[in-house]
């Protein structure tokens, strides 16, 4: 893969980090992690030094997958956000652009209401960035996999875990 292919998304990467940095500052959160639905970390901001990132990313993706199954049981297509409240730390998790998971870890320096509001605003910005990425992928590489195939594969994987 040439340098031009490696750098194709550099602008979007820095745009994503800029949005995440602004979200971190506006919410006074401890850290934010952007994770793909397969459980791989895309990027993070803030203090993640005390977090086992691979485990956190994998478990966050699994949490969303399990919650999607709960949603379907009660007739919802999915739950777009999750909230876990602890004694000292909280986690607010949201799906962005139907493809990635944004996890916000915060403590009592902020409130759930503020985090929810700011995540909603940041998600709109992130969705615009991801739309550009998806357009670049399609323009550069074309549609190599049929969308119906992806949906069918996801459905089969879901059936394996029922």
Q: What is the pLDDT along the chain (162 residues), one digit of tens a residue?
A: 444 444 557 888 899 999 999 999 999 999 999 999 899 999 999 999 999 999 999 999 999 889 989 999 999 988 889 999 999 999 999 999 888 999 999 999 999 999 999 999 999 999 999 888 888 877 777 665 555 555 555 555 455 444
Distance CA 45, CA 41 (A): 11
Q: Determine contact, residues 32/15, Cβ cutoff 8 Å.
A: no
Q: Give the range of the structural domain holding residue 58, as residue numbers without chain letter.
A: 3-160
The count of domains in the chain is 1
SS3 73: helix
**Rg for the chain, CA atoms, rounded:** 17
pLDDT reported for residue 161:
45
pTM: 0.80
pLDDT reported for residue 8:
55
Distance CA 133, CA 159 (A): 30
Which CATH number is 7's domain given? 3.30.450.30
pLDDT reported for residue 133:
84
| Non-local CB neighbours of 161 within 8 Å, separated by 6+ positions | 65, 69
Give the CA-trace dihedral at 14, 16, 19, 25, to 10 degrees.
-80
pLDDT reported for residue 136:
81
């Amino acid at each position: 893969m040439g340098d031009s292919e490696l750098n194709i998304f550099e602008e979007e990467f820095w745009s994503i980090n800029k949005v995440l940095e602004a979200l971190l500052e506006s919410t006074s959160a401890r850290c934010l992690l952007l994770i793909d639905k397969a459980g791989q970390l895309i990027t993070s901001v803030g203090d993640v030094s005390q977090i086992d990132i691979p485990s956190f990313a994998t478990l966050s993706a699994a949490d969303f997958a399990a919650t999607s199954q709960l949603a379907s049981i009660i007739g919802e297509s999915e739950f777009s956000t999750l909230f876990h409240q602890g004694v000292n730390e909280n986690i607010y998790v949201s799906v962005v652009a139907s493809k990635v998971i944004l996890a916000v870890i915060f403590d009592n320096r902020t409130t759930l209401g503020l985090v929810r509001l700011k995540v909603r605003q940041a998600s709109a910005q992130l969705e615009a960035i991801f739309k550009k990425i998806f357009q670049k992928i399609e323009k550069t590489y074309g549609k190599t996999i049929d969308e119906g195939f992806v949906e069918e594969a996801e459905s089969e994987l879901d059936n394996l875990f029922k």
